[in-house]
Amino acid sequence: MAQLPALLLVFGVLLAGCSSPSTASILKPTVQGPPNHHFALSFLKVPNGPKSRGNGVVAPHLASTRNGPGIELFEYWGSRDVDALVYELVAAVPRSRVTSTLRSFLPTSQGARLITWRGFPGATDTVPCSNRSGSCSGVVNVLVVLKKSTIYEVMVNAPTKALSQAVFNSFRFVKQ
Give the pLDDT confidence of 13-56 residue by residue, as tens digits. Answer: 444 444 444 445 889 999 998 888 999 999 988 888 776 666 54
Who's near 47: CB < 8 A, 6+ residues apart? 30, 32, 77, 78, 79, 82, 84
CB 126, CB 140: distance < 8 Å: yes
pLDDT tens-digit series, residues 70-97:
888 888 888 878 999 999 988 889 999 8
The CA distance from 5 to 38, in Å, is 30
Phi and psi based region of residue 64 (left: phi greater than 0; alpha: psi -120 to 50; beta: remaining): alpha
Measured CA distances, 67 to 41, 52, 122, 136, 142 (Å): 28, 24, 15, 31, 19
Question: What is the residue range of 37's domain?
Answer: 3-173
Residue 111 is predicted with a pLDDT of 74
Query: Can you tell me the distance from the alpha carbon of 143 to that of 115, in angstroms, rounded to the nearest whole number?
Result: 10
- What CATH number is associated with residue 90? 3.40.1000
DSSP string, 90-103: SSPPPGGGHHHHHH
Quote the radius of gyration of the chain (alpha carbons, Å): 15
Measured CA to CA, the distance from residue 118 to residue 35 in angstroms comes to 21
List pLDDT tens digits, range 44-78.
888 887 766 665 444 434 444 454 568 888 888 88
- The pLDDT tens digits of the residues spanning 109-161 come to 677 899 999 999 999 998 877 666 665 667 889 999 999 999 999 999 887 88
State how many domains the chain has: 1
